Each structure stands twice: as structure tokens, then as C-alpha cells.
Structure 1
């Protein structure tokens, strides 16, 4: 099932990415009163957890540097209810999908079927140990097909992210270290120039790179060692394995149908860069 989980990630991720890359979601969140992109990001993504403190959001999201969450949580909720941020996120993301997919795919029988099957998978997995996924499971499933497809894809994304964090913790890779490994896997060098890293203080980045060197995961030039590359590959393989359970509820025929219906949707989104 692990190869299937990787294929489903490739098909569903472009659906989720409109939330972060397209304009409509940010516009909806700004209209609520969120002052910055990151205020809206943290407020809307963490909202299913309830009004938890920054330390809990930091733990659940895992990949942000110390202090980054606290700059936005709980401040972003002080005048805007979490429920309002969640609703704005859904409205904006759905609007982006409709615009990019156009009349040909928006509400087509194939999209409706993809939304139904994706929702079936997204609603079937155990929630134990899956904090962000469990939070998403508490939200009502939209009735409108495009919104339902986005919601189900996002549930599966959070399920996968929870498993990815478990794989990172098991490999003793911290959140900032994970960004270094991800940058190197993408062919970005120096890894400190990666978008999720370049804004961090120089001393912080030096400490992270020094720790990876001491463990033999990167070399003196900041590139993968064999051990580092193997560690990254093990993390990704385990992430795929842990992401497989939601799809076990679908028959082989349903999985084939889901992939076939998602392919044209994903192709349109990839062509547009999900924005």
C-alpha cells in the first residue's frame, strides 16, 4: 500500500496547495481582519484543535522554529473566532479550485465521484496518534462537491503530516533539521537558502548544520552524506507506509476509479501551479 499512498499524495497535494499558494484564501482571511499571511495560516490551520496555547500548536505543526508560532497564536484568535477562520479557509480554497478547474471540471460527474471516494477514504482512518487529522475529523464535511474534495484532501494531508512527524521523531530529526534534509533532497544548495530556512538567525542555522555534521548526515560542504541520504529515504518510506491506512477501505476497483478521476483534476492544478 505504500506506493499507492505516495501516488495518492502526488494526486491530492496540488488540491491542498491552493490554500497556501492561490490568492483567494489569503483574501478571505484578510477580510476577516488577519493582518498577515502567517496570522491567517496559523489561525485557520490550527483552529480545529480549539483555543490551545502556542506550545501545543508548535508541537502539532513540528516544523516551525522556536518562537514562530507564538508570534501568531493566540493573538490571531483574540478578535477573530477560530470557527470563522476555518470557514474563510474553506471558502477561499474552494473558490481557487473552481477558478482553476473551470466549468469543464467544476461539478463534473468525475469530480463528484472523486470527492465521494476521497471523503470515504479520509473519514475511515484511526485517529489515534494523529492530532491534526483528529482535529480535522471534528469539522463538518461540506456538501458541495468541490468544497468536499478540498476538505477530504486536506484531511488526508494532515493524516500524512502526522505520520511524517512520527517518522521524523523516530529518526531523531527535528523540525528545522527536516527542512535541511528536504532542501537537499530537492537539490537546493546551500540548504540554508531554502525558503523555510533562509529567514532564520544565522546562529540558529549554524547550530542546526553543525548538529547534522556531527551525526554524519551532511558533509563539510553542507551536502548529503550517504548516511544522510539513506536517513531521508527511510523517513519518506515510513511516511508512505503510515499514510496508507485511509485507502484500505476502498476496493481495488474504487482505487483505480479514484486515481482515474483525480488525474485530470491534478493535471489542471499542476499546470496552474495551484495558484
Structure 2
């Protein structure tokens, strides 16, 4: 299968999962078990399927965030709540979130859920080298279709994300250099990436300087030809490493998944102000 088909299928459904990082339901559920703000619950809740791992493990699997932010967020996390409690809180938040944002489209998600589950289960046969994904593989499947879809898309996101980190590190990029090169692609501003990952000015400027020395950025911080080729290599490898579950279900099922999930995905993305993708989810 053309890896671009896999990327488009994943991106069409992705807002159904990624909304969990922005909605008040998540902050409320994490607060209910002792986490005082959204960020203090983000790292523990997302890493909880791996077990009560150390901050160092979280830094490795979330490597573009400021390491001191991870340290602060993970300090005492497992004394505040167990991984099982955080996993349950996240599923509750996802349930509430989709019921609120999906509107009437929630009643038609069973076909999409079934297809997405097939893709995710194909990925589950290949956890090697994907630690964050592998942790999620052990979780029980929920019963309701909208949560089956959310869990499937979570698995597919982490499968792809672990592959993306492999590609980034294969190119020798640090976490902050990964952000700077992402910004240089022009899809999202450096200001947003720097702020959301809480990178300091020193981190950011140091990454720019190191990429300039390497020949990836010019004096103005824009890609050189070498830098653009290097980042495109990362994107291509990410697509190739992420296509397996979509190859397993085939092109027709990918097209059906996109068509059956698009209304919900579009509605949820619009409610949260996500950037609009084109009709192909590219």
C-alpha cells in the first residue's frame, strides 16, 4: 500500500483521539483523582499504560518536551494515583468528550469502530520497538462503539508516534531540534511548538544554532536544501513505519473508514478550533 493512504486515513480520524489533550473533561477527571492541573495529569495519564514508569522513561518517550517539565509533572504522580486509576480517568474523559462534541454523529460510529479496531489489532501483532504503543496493547477493549473507535485511534496514534521518534532519532535530532525542524516545515509556528512543549529561549536558540552548524538551517533559520531533504526523510520513514495496520485492512476498508468517520472527526475538530485539513485528510 502507498504509505500516503495510511497517513491520510490516520489523519482523517485523528481528531477523535487527539481532542483528549485539549478538552476540559480530561482536566476534570484528572483533578478528581488528585492532579491539580491539566499538564500534571497529561504525562502520567498518557504513560500509565506502560506502568508506574520513571520520569526518565517518560522523557525518552515524550522527548520533545522540556525535560524539567516532565520531572515536575511526574514527581509524586504514582503516589497520587495508580496507573489503573489514570487509565480509567482517561477513558471516562474520552466518553464524556465524544458524547459532548460528536453530537448526533455518535450513533453512526459502529462501522468506523469495527474497521479501526481491525487496523489497530493488526498493529498489536507488531509491538517491537514501540514502547508507548506496546503499553496500550495490554489494555482491555471497551464495549461502546465510540470508545472502541477512540481506543483504536489511540493505538494507531501511538504506533505511528513511536515510529516517528525512531525516524527522528535515526537522523540524530534532539527533542528541541525536532521541534525547530517541524516549525521550519511551515505547518505550525515555532511559537506554538515552543510554548506547548515549554522549551526555554536557550533551548530553542541552541537548537537553531546546532542545526545551522549541521547545515540544515540557513542564517535566517529557514531550511537549506540539506535540511529540507533530511526532514522529508523523517516524514517518509514515519509514513512507511506507520502503514502496516492500514495495509492489513486494505485500501477499500481505509476508504470506508475515512468516509464513515469524517463527519464526527470534522465536527470535533471544528469544536476545538483545530486547523482544517483538506477533503482527503492530507
TM-score of the alignment, normalized to the shorter chain, above 0.5: yes
Instruction: State the Cα distance separating 1:251 from its structure 2 match.
Output: 3.6
Partner of 1:183: 183
| d(CA) in 2 for partners of 1:274, 1:200 | 24
Instruction: State the Cα distance separating 1:167 from its structure 2 match.
Output: 0.6
8 Å Cα contact 2:179/2:193 also seen in 1: no
Partner of 2:111: 113
Is 1:37 aligned to residue 38 of structure 2? yes
1:28-59 CA distances to partner (integer Å, 9 max, x unpaired)? 11111101211110110010111111111111
8 Å Cα contact 1:119/1:152 also seen in 2: yes
Partner of 1:19: 20
TM-score, normalised by the number of residues in structure 2: 0.90
| d(CA) in 1 for partners of 2:223, 2:192 | 15
Instruction: Describe the SS at the equivalent of 2:74.
Output: coil
Partner of 2:69: 68
For 1:91-240, what aligned pairs fall within 5 Å after superposition?
A: 91-102=92-103, 104-108=104-108, 111-125=109-123, 126-186=126-186, 191=190, 193-197=191-195, 199-240=198-239
| d(CA) in 1 for partners of 2:254, 2:221 | 41
8 Å Cα contact 1:131/1:162 also seen in 2: yes
Partner of 1:46: 47
Q: RMSD value over aligned CA atoms?
A: 1.8
Report the CA distance shift for 1:196/1:140 in structure 2 as closer, same or farther (over 3 A): farther
Is 1:253 aligned to residue 252 of structure 2? yes
| d(CA) in 2 for partners of 1:140, 1:92 | 17
| d(CA) in 2 for partners of 1:116, 1:74 | 38
Where structure 2 has 5 or more consecutive residues not aligned to the other structure, the ranges are 275-282
Instruction: State the Cα distance separating 1:197 from its structure 2 match.
Output: 4.8
TM-score, normalised by the number of residues in structure 1: 0.92
Report the CA distance shift for 1:196/1:83 in structure 2 as closer, same or farther (over 3 A): farther
Instruction: State the Cα distance separating 1:66 from its structure 2 match.
Output: 2.7
Where structure 1 has 5 or more consecutive residues not aligned to the other structure, the ranges are none
Report the CA distance shift for 1:188/1:256 in structure 2 as closer, same or farther (over 3 A): closer
Q: How many residues align?
A: 270
Partner of 1:263: 262
1:208-249 CA distances to partner (integer Å, 9 max, x unpaired)? 111011011111111222221221111111101110011222
| d(CA) in 2 for partners of 1:62, 1:241 | 21
1:161-209 CA distances to partner (integer Å, 9 max, x unpaired)? 00000110111111111111111213566x3x23335843332222211
Instruction: Describe the SS at the equivalent of 2:223.
Output: coil
Partner of 1:244: 243
Which stretch shifts more, 224-233 or 115-124?
Answer: 224-233
| d(CA) in 1 for partners of 2:112, 2:223 | 39
